[in-house]
Amino acid sequence: SLWRPLVDVVKDAPLAFCDRWSIELDEPVPCNKAMEDYVDESYYLKYRASHKWFWLSNQTRDKVAAFVIWDSKSDAKYLGEIPGN
């Protein structure tokens, strides 16, 4: 996925990421997401002090974030490497 702000500079509510290596495989909690004409499944994380979070401070329109939301490969651990990290 790609994320680019719709404003010149994000001052409030920046996009945040949880470091995939700080998430245990058994942590995601499945939940139903009710849409208008169907029900989909999603996952949520409960708070754990061991989670490592970071965010894009003062992100501008020319600073596009690229990240993986889901990897269907069964032996993958949620996310791929973040380029430039």
pTM score over 0.85: no
Specify if 81 maps to a domain: no
Where in the sequence is the domain holding 14, given as residue range(s)?
Answer: 2-24+50-66
Residues 17-40 pLDDT 10s: 988 889 888 888 888 989 999 998
Q: Work out the pLDDT band at 85, boundaries 50, 70, 90.
A: very low
User: Looking at residues 36-45, what average pLDDT do you find?
Assistant: 89
Name the amino acid, one letter, at 37: D
**Count of domains observed in the chain:** 1
Please give the pLDDT value at position 68: 77
Please give the pLDDT value at position 78: 44
Specify if 7 maps to a domain: yes
CA distance 21 to 51: 9
Specify if 84 maps to a domain: no
Specify if 13 maps to a domain: yes
CA distance 68 to 42: 15
Helical segments of the chain, H only: none
Q: Which is nearest to 65 in space by CA: 78, 79, 84? A: 84
CB atoms within 10 A of CB 40: 9
